[in-house]
Amino acid sequence: MTLEQYLANTLPGVTDIKDVSRAFAPSNIALCKYWGKRQEEFNLPVNSSLSISLGNLGTETSLECSNTDILILNGEELDSSDPFSTRLFNYIDLFRPPSIKLKIETSNTIPTAAGLASSASGFAAVIKALSDLFSWDLSDQRLSEYARIGSGSACRSIYHGFVLWEKGEKHDGSDSFAHLINNSWTDLRLAILDVCSDKKAISSRDAMNRTASSSPYFTQWSDIAQSDLALLLNAIEEKDLHLLMKTAESNAMAMHASMMAAQPTILYFLAESVEMMHKVWACRSSGLSVYFTMDAGPNLKLLYHKDDEAEVLKQFPDAISVNPFVT
């Protein structure tokens, strides 16, 4: 089944169009990473993954019908030839009637394309807004499936809290969607260390494909991810914060190791990234229980207990603290 056939079979018709729609989707940070696809067209992963949302940090998007397609990102209108604009409207074309043009205003409360999963929250917000604009009233599962088509990890940004993305087995991805793990862990805190907000030299999508096609460690990475996911799910069930944090850090380093072995090498670390890693390790050696994770970018996300927040922010004064369970 092709993507077009899948959408034709599952997408509701457009019978009622609202004047304007708005939607918010949180950014998410993977504790067990999604890295590698078993199928490109549907963005189907080789391994299941687990994330936690970043509370009220994410993407706010509004849609309204217009005479022509317009995209305003963070207050700036983008040219239609801009790569982000092209990618977004190509995605929207999958869902809207050809006669409908849209004015899109979207704003991120996190840096765009800097390794903080802005594309995940962006595509999740768009599909939620489309569902509202066309009065589709889609289920969260269907929203997750559709968001995944735009950006794999976007399927996890439909929800707040701990989210599990099942890799699935079917070719059409109908069993590959994210769902909420009903477990609010109010003792857990995150902090974002924004090492660099510049656009990445290589996109996550291109880096993932290069790793899968050329890294000798890619098969091992898939096995590690499966093992780490089991540990993380157990840690959430048992509220074992130490196990959750150390597994998340190890998983991130394993993903980056698979990238470094790709040809040509992919290295998102900057000198400042490595400096912050060593500082985290030094803090742990001194008795402060703080760990980190990293997505495909130079920025670190710290993990720690809420009781340690004052000391963590003292050691990392530029960090932005996040309570993932406050929306």
In a domain, 156, yes or no: yes
Q: Could you report the per-residue pLDDT of 54-70, keeping only the tens digit for each?
A: 988 999 999 999 999 99
Q: Could you report the per-residue pLDDT of 16-62, keeping only the tens digit for each?
A: 999 999 999 999 999 999 999 999 999 999 999 999 999 889 999 99
Query: In CATH, what number is assigned to the domain containing residue 242?
Result: 3.30.70.890
Determine the structural domain holding residue 38 and report its residue range. Answer: 3-180
My answer on whether 23 and 158 are in the same domain is: yes
Q: Cβ distance 282 to 316 under 8 Å? A: no
My answer on whether 316 and 267 are in the same domain is: yes
My answer on whether 138 and 212 are in the same domain is: no
Query: In CATH, what number is assigned to the domain containing residue 91?
Result: 3.30.230.10
**Distance, CA of 32 to CA of 236 (rounded, Å):** 13
My answer on whether 162 and 201 are in the same domain is: no
My answer on whether 158 and 71 are in the same domain is: yes
- Give the residue ranges of DSSP H helices in the chain: 3-10, 83-93, 118-133, 140-150, 204-214, 218-238, 241-260, 271-285, 309-315
Q: Which of 162, 180, 198 is the last residue of a domain?
A: 180
**Distance, CA of 215 to CA of 32 (rounded, Å):** 19
pTM score, two decimals? Answer: 0.93
DSSP sequence for 236-256: HHHT-HHHHHHHHHHHHHHHH
My answer on whether 151 and 205 are in the same domain is: no
219 to 142, 174, 187, 255: CA distances (angstroms): 30, 25, 35, 11
**Distance, CA of 136 to CA of 11 (rounded, Å):** 9
In a domain, 327, yes or no: no
My answer on whether 50 and 120 are in the same domain is: yes
In sequence order, what are the residues at sequence separation of 6 or more whose Cβ sits closer than 8 angstroms to the Cβ of residue 296? 115, 200, 204, 207, 208, 259, 268
My answer on whether 33 and 124 are in the same domain is: yes
Q: Cβ distance 31 to 51 under 8 Å? A: yes
Q: State yes or no: pLDDT of 117 exceeds 80.
A: no
